[in-house]
A and B are shown apart, each in its own frame.
Chain A
Amino acid sequence: DQQVKQNSPSLSVQEGRISILNCDYTNSMFDYFLWYKKYPAEGPTFLISISSIKDKNEDGRFTVFLNKSAKHLSLHIVPSQPGDSAVYFCAASVRGDMRFGAGTRLTVKP
C-alpha cells in the first residue's frame, strides 16, 4: 500500500508564476519529509526537507509546507523557471526507511 501519494501526475505553469506541488501521506510515524527533483536519465537529487515538528521550511525559491493534522505537504516554487521543469518526488522517512510518491511532472513554459 502506498503510504505517500502524489495525486497529480503532471502540472504546467507559466514562467515567473508559482508552482505548487502536493503530497499526502498516511503513516503518522514519518518524522522527516523531503522533496527530490529528477531530470531524464539521471538519479533524483535532493531539494529540500522538513522535520515533522515544523510547519514550514524555506530555501531560496523553494518552500515546503507541512500540515500534520491533514497529513499533507506541499512544495512551492516562486518564481518558476524553465530549468525547474522536471519530475518532483515527495518522500517521507521513519528510522531509515524512506518511502516515495509516484512523482509529479512539472513543466514551466517560457
Chain B
Amino acid sequence: NAGVTQTPKFQVLKTGQSMTLQCAQDMNHNSMYWYRQDPGMGLRLIYYSASEGTTDKGEVPNGYNVSRLNKREFSLRLESAAPSQTSVYFCASSELGPPLALHFGNGTRLTVT
C-alpha cells in the first residue's frame, strides 16, 4: 500500500507564480490535512477536511486555498507564491474520531525565490 502520496517532491517557484500541491491517500480515510514545517516552528496546520465536501481553516491559512476533490484527494494551491511560503509541506490523512492518529506523506520541499 502506498499510504499517502504527495507530488511533487521538490519545487522551485518565483515570487508571484502559482502552483498546486497534490495529495492522494489509499486508506479510505475520511479526514485529510495540510501542514507546513518550518525550522523552530514544528508543524503548523494550514487547512483540513474532516470529511469529503468540507474544508476548514487551520492555524496559518492565509495565501492558500484547498480543494477536497473526492475522498482520496486533497490539493493545496498557492495562487501567488511569496518567499514566506518557502517550507516543507506535508499532507496527512486520518480516520474519523479520536485519537486522530495522522498518516503523513513524505513531504514537498518548496522554495520561493
For B90, the chain A residues whose CB sits under 8 A away are 43-44
**Chain B, residue nearest A103 (CB):** B42
Q: Does B75 contact A (CB under 8 A)?
A: no
For A49, the chain B residues whose CB sits under 8 A away are 99, 101
- With A43-B106, A44-B104 in contact, do A32 and B41 touch (Cβ < 8 Å)? no
Interface range, B side? 20 to 34
In the assembled complex, the CB of A64 is this many whole angstroms from the nearest CB of chain B, namely 11
Interface range, A side? 20 to 34
**Chain A, residue nearest B4 (CB):** A43
Q: Does A11 contact B (CB under 8 A)?
A: no
What 1/0 mask marks residues of chain A from 67 to 99 whose CB sits below 8 Å from any chain B CB?
A: 000000000000000000000010101001111
With the chains together, A98 CA to B31 CA distance in Å? 12
Is the CB–CB distance between B45 and A97 below 8 Å?
A: yes
Is the CB–CB distance between A100 and B42 below 8 Å?
A: yes
B residues at A contact (CB < 8 Å): 4, 31, 33, 35, 40-45, 48, 50, 56, 58-59, 90, 92, 98-107
